[in-house]
Amino acid sequence: MPLRIKPSPPHSDGQVAELADLFHLLGDGTRLRIVLACLHAPVSVNSIAGQLGLDNSLVSHHLRLLKAARIVRAERRGKQVFYVAADAHIRRVVTDLLAHLAEPGSGRAR
């Protein structure tokens, strides 16, 4: 029996669609910066907007999409609403890819 090399595993349409949705949401620069801003600790909408120099409204719009996709989680404290990355899974995805980009000679392939 010959050695089988990388049978190129089949992927369900659902999995691919889910992955594409995740990529699509993180594929906007503004939205990605928002995710990075609340990746490790809860941050208020105002704080994110101030930190990134964006309009309050714009940040809220993006956070609504990120929340709907379960990428971030909302938590209200008094007047403010704090957002944070939904779980360790999301954190790993983003930090892993940033690490990948930082790899020597990985800027964009060889």
15 belongs to the binding site for DNA (CB under 7 A): no
8 Å CB contact between 26 and 85: no
Return the one option of DNA, its own copies, none that residue 35 interacts with (CB less than 5 to 8 A, by type): none
For the bound state, the minimum distance from the C-beta of residue 55 to its own copies, rounded and expressed in Å, comes to 19
DSSP bridge partners of 55:
none
8 Å CB contact between 71 and 27: no
42 contact partners, CB below 8 Å, separation of at least 6: 75, 82, 83, 84
97 contact partners, CB below 8 Å, separation of at least 6: none
Return the one option of DNA, its own copies, none that residue 84 interacts with (CB less than 5 to 8 A, by type): none
Return the one option of its own copies, DNA, none that residue 61 interacts with (CB less than 5 to 8 A, by type): DNA
55 belongs to the binding site for DNA (CB under 7 A): yes
- Residues of this chain that interact with its own copies (CB under 8 A) are 6, 8, 11, 15-29, 32-33, 36, 39-41, 69-71, 73, 86-87, 89-90, 92-93, 96-98, 100-103, 106-110
